[in-house]
Amino acid sequence: MKERILGLLKSPGFSDALPEMDGIPLIKAINALLPFLYHGDAEIKRRAVMALGHRVAELADRDMDEARNVVRRLMWSLNDESGGIGWGSPEAMAEILARHEGLAREYTNILASYTQEGGNYLESEILQQGVLWGMGRVFRRWPALLRRAEPSILCFLGSRDASVRGLAARLLGELGDEHARQALEGLLQDRAEFQVPMDERPSVRRVQDEAREAIEKLQDAKAG
């Protein structure tokens, strides 16, 4: 089953191959997809995240409890007691929530808690990248739910990791957090480059550009 799933994930016409995955029983497909969240190839991981979000959302429409179990497995992988690291779990969790409103209503606050030092704050910068990307994904689909969850993004602007700084700046602009303006202005000379995760076509950005665009969004929101 894993070899079959990997073949679909590697397919040049991945979007066209997705219907073939629909012929695989949901639970079997989901269990086979989960290990590919750890895959070293960024494109395989991205496709696994997308396929998992699609299949778990479909599962939720049929059996909400089983879908909750999948989300809980991802949450467990981010728990210190799990013995693992949880690579790819924040992105997969976010993709699932973006695709299913019922699950988003239940778990968006958990996703946001991974940014909160009084909550389930994640120390790993790679996991932080996943969480920040994921919250942007959920926000663009369910903005009110993420705002109510009160993610704590401002502290990430001071990260030593350029990807974390850039993704945090982008998210703060989308959230319209006026309190972030001064900190964003402090990044306008930050020329560090980073690759945006989960992009279908990998792109390199500079932190200062994300900060500038975020400030522009804040100005537009204030003017509106």
**Containing domain of residue 134, as a range?**
1-141
Residues of the chain above pLDDT 90, percent: 73
Asked whether residue 157 falls in the same domain as residue 135, the answer is no
Q: How far apart are CA 43 and CA 47, in angstroms?
A: 6
Q: Which of 214, 193, 215 is nearest to 202 (CA)?
A: 193
Interacting residues of 10 by C-beta distance below 8 A, sequence separation 6+: 44
104 and 164 part of one domain: no
Instruction: Please state the rounded mean pLDDT for residues 192-201.
Output: 88
Domain termination site, one of 102, 118, 141: 141
In the chain, the number of structural domains is 2
Final residue of a structural domain among 116, 141, 166: 141
- 157 and 136, same domain (yes or no): no
Same-domain pairing of 88 and 165? no
C-alpha separations of 198 from 49, 50, 51, 170, 187 in Å = 9, 9, 13, 15, 23
Domain at 157, CATH number? 1.25.10
**pLDDT > 70 fraction of the chain, expressed in percent and rounded:** 96
55-64, 84-93, 159-168: which range is least confident on average?
84-93
Q: Which residues contact 113 (CB under 8 A, 6 or more apart)?
A: 119, 120, 121, 149
pLDDT in tens, 39-59: 989 999 999 999 999 999 999
Last residue of a domain, one of 79, 108, 141: 141
Q: How far is CA 22 from CA 25, 51, 56, 121, in A?
A: 7, 10, 12, 36
Q: Is residue 148 part of a domain?
A: no
* Predicted confidence band of residue 174 (pLDDT cuts 50, 70, 90): very high
